[in-house]
Each structure stands twice: as structure tokens, then as C-alpha cells.
Chains A and B, each alone.
Chain A
């Protein structure tokens, strides 16, 4: 499939316009040779497509198309890499903001919890200040010698 190109480059002197055109035609009319995998079970569809694409680019006689495709691929790769990089930075920034927010909330929780613990600890003192007194005597009922009344039967 690369035969026409080799022929063009192997010429010591530039070919005439007509000759070159004939060569190009000849190259384009000759079917490109390629390995037919005979549809083996393990070949995936995407791989086939990539293979077809590569073969299509190689079947072109002019290297211009290959250069264009390569350039487009290169630019696309750069743009995608730039996009990914930007997205990463954006995600990192958001993540940093979220972490800061979580940290703030944790500090708030910690602060409120400390206040609550302190208030809980001061409860007995506040109860005492309000005049509340712990019960001192046990309440007992002495049933010794208890006689149920008739009405209780």
C-alpha cells in the first residue's frame, strides 16, 4: 500500500506532471493490500473501526491528508488535555472550598458542643440557684400489720 510513495521518493529527478498524475492514478486505482483478519471472534468492533480508519489514511496517496489528520488529532489532544486540566483545577478548587466549608462546620459543631457541655455541667448549680433541692428522705410505706378493709375484697 505504501508502494506509490516509495516510487515517488526514489526518483532522482522530479517526475513530469503527466507522469506523476499517472502514477497517482495508478496508485489510487490499485486496491490496497491488507491483512484480512477473517472476522476473528476476539476482534472488537472498535478495534476494527480504528484499523479501518488507519487503513483509510494509508490508502490515500497524498501525505497531506495524513498530516491534516495528525494535526487535527494533535490539536484535539491538546484541547482535551487543556480541558481536562482546567476541569481538574476547577474540581480541586471546589473540593478545597467544600473542605473549608466542612472544616468551618466542624469548628461550629465543636464550638456549640463545648457550649452545650458547659451548660450541662452548670445545670446542678443553676438548679440550686433557682432553689431546687434534691430529695433527701426515702419515701417508704410500712405495710407491717396492714389489714385490708372489707371494701377491698
Chain B
């Protein structure tokens, strides 16, 4: 107070008040300067960064998953854009509809031209119920929670999303872009194609096998946003383009596969079999044209992702088809010629073990070709008297039995083939006629294709090519072809197999075409674990004079038991279709048949 009085005395009351105001201004100015220094100098970087972070948004641009196509470019699987409909329950509960009038026709709410009639979550539910196809009460309950993120419906089409946009509910119900995998052919190749999970990752089948190729690389865009979240024009900071996944083209011909599935399904119904498998392979290239089983599994379904195709996962003893591999080995080693003569009884005892043929017959004079034609187990044992265990094993293995097919299909079973050292006195002989080891449908198809392909084993493949997002097509690489037996040996075996085809010509003959085949029937464990079930198979080459295709048909527990009588007719149906579809020239008459009897 004394200071104030002295100041008033010195410069007068007005002057003292002026000084006081000046001091206040000076203090405010000082504070501002201090703050300015803090903002502009001391913490300038931090504030600038915080400001930039607040107004900068980075959005991920999802890359599309590649397509899966058949050999002709028919789309089997593709990803299409869909939307998940999201609701904000808190905002929905605050919703008050604006009634539409003659003057106000935009930004208003009505249901079929009538007022909504209520407010809050119930009103929102009523407005979107018809569009989403969900009961209004259910939707109302979902929107009556305290959640700000309620998924009301997943994978709705863009059409529905556009209609939703017109409802003027954008502030409490909105759409989030997603994608869904569409499979054009339903149950065709269902488990072979597999499916994708919620993260768009392939699970099961081709989707899993080619996941890396099919999956694209997501892109991103970074820009500055305004108060409403919209992009400020010209503020794009960074953009990384997305790269869509590559398209995968299979060797499968969807038309052939459809027909094969139909023939298989008809065969299952006709012979009341449990299940069936069929494979069609191109002899010259090793390409798989059809790979089907009788299971009706929708591609992309949970079952398709969990269950592998029977055609790759199911293993069975090949039965008498296995005689082809052993006989080819004997010919290759020079132990026999196809014309060698045998007197074959119906039964034989070797090392205390009894063996018999599938049907009783009197002692017969058969050549080696005759033994194959009649599918004589006894004849095979007689012919193999100088065929060592190691040689038996070597040739079965060389034909690819018990070995992975090399196609890397998920859940593929390699079957089993034990080493000869573990064979007992019976197994060493049963392996001669396809018992004591197991195979899958792909292996046995390629093994017979070796005979059809002049003794050379091609690498089977199911991926024809891959086309990347820029349109560059790469032909898939396959393993090297390997020679298993000499061309002359393969020719003799094919000749003998043609005699088998002729033997069953009433059941399996295709008018105008020669076929070479081998049939097999093997006992397999039934539901109770005992050997009570039957697997009947038929592997045919057509046309025999100029092999183009190998067709394998396998039926489980068919009525009629024998492969020639059950799987054979299914083969015939498929064979007829193949000859017509690929316009294969009719066969020339057979003139070089190796005698089967003597």
C-alpha cells in the first residue's frame, strides 16, 4: 500500500493505474512468450508430430485372392467383394426417425411409405430388418446393448449395402468391406478344392496347397483427414499399391470331372457301393484330367476344409492290379517272356502256405499273358520262383507304389510298402498279386500309366500354370520323367492287359476302341476291423493301340464284388465320354495278340 501511495504521489492516480494495467499486460505477454517458446522451440517436434498423427490416417487396401480355374479357364473358385453390416448400439438407441412428407423426401425415414412409428433401436431394427432378412426383434435386441460394434450380418452383397446406404442410417449402421470365396461348381471337386478361413487363408485341398501363390499382398494409403474423417484433397502422403494374388489353372477339365462324378454316382447307386473314387490321367503328360470321389461335399464348406478328398487320402490294397508290376519286373529282369507256358492248378502250397485263385478251375495251360488275363494268383507264384524278395520290392517301388505322388496335395497318403526284410513267408508271395502293401488311387493310376507310356514314369501334376496379377503366365514345373521298364516290356504288358480288356468286353467294351486293363479285388478291414469289406478296382488304358488316357475306378463294397463286373462298367461310361469329347480316332483292329493259352 505504501508503494502504491508513493507511486500515486509520484505519477498521479491515472499514471499509477496505467502502470498497473501495463504490468498485467506484461505478465500476460510473458506467459504467452513462455508458452510460445515451449510450443515453437522446446517441444516443437513433439507437438508437430502429435498434430501430424492426429490428422494422418493410414488405410489398408486389401488384395484380392487369386482364382482357381480348370484347364479351359472355367472359374472354379474366386473371391468376390461382400460387406459386413455393423451397428453402433449406443447411437442406434438415440435414433429419432424423421418422417417423410410431400416436401421432405430426402434424408427422411419411412417403411414402405409409412412412418417408422417408433424411435431408438427398435426403429433402426424395423428399417433394416427387411433388407438384411433378419427378424426385427432379433436386430432390436442386438442393438439394445451397450456395444459400439455389433456385427448385424456378415457377407451381404454390394446391392444390399447400396440399399442400406439409402436408408440414411449411416451414423449408426454402416458397412465394412470384406470378401467371400465363391465356388461355381458346388460339390464338384469339393474336398479337392478345400476352402478358406476367416483370415482368407486356404485350408484344405488346392486352396491350402497353393495358398502362397493365391494370396496377394495388401497395399496401403496414408493421407491427412479432416474433422469428419474425410481425406483432405491433395494430402496423400504415401501409397503402396496392393498386388492381387495369382490365378492358378489346374489340369482338371471341369466337364470331364462332372461326367466322371456323374458316372461314379450312378455306379454307386447301381452297385450299392459305400463310396467310389475315379481318376483320369493323360498318359503322355501325366496331367490329371479328373479326380473325383462320390462324396457330396460343397467346396468351401467346413467339411471340405476338414476332410481330404478320398482320391488322395484313401489307401487300399490294389489286389490283382498289382500283378502288372510284378510281371513287368519279371519280364524286365529276363526271368520270363510273355509267351512262356505254365500249367496252372487252382491252388498251390508254398512253404506251408496255401494259396488259391479267386475262382476254382481245373489245371489250365496258360501262358504268362494268360495268367494275367485270368488273374491267377497261383500262376503268379509259379512264375516268380526265381524272382527274389528284393526284386519284388524294387519293382513295386519303381512303379511308385508306397511313394508320395509328388503333387504335394494336402493330406495325401503315400500308402505303405514295407521292406522285404520284414516280409513273412506269406507276404513275400501275396505282394505278387497286390496284397501286403497299399496304395492310393493316384499312385495306381500313374503306375499303370508307366505301361501305357512305353515304360516311362511321368511326374503327375494337377497345377497347369500360374498367372500373376500383371498377366505373366508361368507353367508349373514338374519332376523329371524316369524309365521304369524297357519299351518292349511295356509293350508286352500292354498287350497282355489288352487280353484282359477283351475278356471283359461285354461289361467294359467301348465300341470302336481297344482297351487294355487290369481289374483287382482286395479284402479290406470293415467297420468292425475284420477283413469283411471289399475294394474292387479297374484300371484301364484307352485306346490300347495309341494310349491317351488311364482311367481308374475304385468302388468300396459293391454288389457284384469283382472289379471287372462293378468298377468296369463305370470305366466304360467314362471311357465312352472321353473318346467322344477328345475326338479320339477309332482303333485299328488288333492283329498282334500274344496267345493266352497253349
Contacts and interface: CB of A to CB of B under 8 A. Distances in A.
A138 B586 contact: yes
A96 B236 CA distance: 13
A124 B259 contact: yes
A134 interface: yes
Contacts of A88: 233-234
A107 interface: yes
Contact of A111 (B158, B262, B512): B158
Interface string A110-153: 11011001101100110010000011111010000000000000
Given A104-B158, A107-B81, A111-B157, A137 B511 contact: yes
B184 A134 contact: no
A136 B233 contact: no
Nearest to A89: B233
B59 to A, nearest CB: 13
A118 B75 CA distance: 9
A108 B512 contact: no
Contact of B184 (A107, A114, A124, A138): A114
B579 interface: yes
B74 A120 contact: yes
Contacts of B80: 110-111, 114
Interface in A76-103: 88-89, 91-93, 96
B142 interface: no
Given A107-B81, A121-B188, A134 B182 contact: no
B342 interface: no
A116 B74 CA distance: 10
Given A136-B580, A138-B513, A140-B586, A125 B258 contact: yes
Contact of B158 (A93, A107, A124): A107
A120 B513 CA distance: 31
A136 B259 CA distance: 13
Contacts of B168: none
B303 interface: no
Interface residues of B, number: 31
A25 to B, nearest CB: 46
Nearest to B82: A107
Interface in B141-198: 157-159, 162, 182, 184-186, 188
B355 interface: no
B511 A134 contact: no
Contact of A114 (B78, B162, B186, B234): B78
Contacts of B511: 137-138
B559 interface: no
A128 B265 CA distance: 14
B487 interface: no
B184 A120 contact: yes
B255 interface: yes
Nearest to B159: A111
B254 interface: yes
Of A120, A125, A134, A135, chain B has the most CB atoms within 10 Å of the CB of: A134
Nearest to A88: B233
Contacts of A128: 262
A110 B177 CA distance: 15
A124 B81 contact: no
Contacts of A138: 511-513, 579-580, 586
A137 B158 contact: no
B577 A140 contact: no
B75 A92 contact: no
Interface string A30-53: 000000000000000000000000
Contacts of A113: 75, 78
B314 interface: no
B193 to A, nearest CB: 12
B580 A135 contact: yes
Contacts of A91: 233
Interface string B57-78: 0000000000000000011001
Interface of B: 74-75, 78, 80-81, 157-159, 162, 182, 184-186, 188, 231, 233-234, 254-255, 258-259, 262, 511-513, 576-577, 579-581, 586
Q: Ordered nearest first, which 7 A-B pairs have the shortest CB separation?
A: A92-B233, A138-B512, A107-B158, A121-B184, A117-B184, A117-B75, A121-B185
25 contacts: A88-B234, A89-B233, A92-B231, A92-B233, A111-B80, A111-B158, A111-B159, A113-B78, A114-B78, A117-B74, A117-B75, A117-B78, A117-B184, A121-B74, A121-B185, A124-B258, A124-B259, A134-B259, A134-B577, A135-B580, A136-B577, A137-B576, A138-B511, A138-B512, A138-B580
Given A114-B184, A124-B255, 6 more contacts: A108-B158, A113-B78, A117-B75, A121-B186, A124-B258, A138-B512
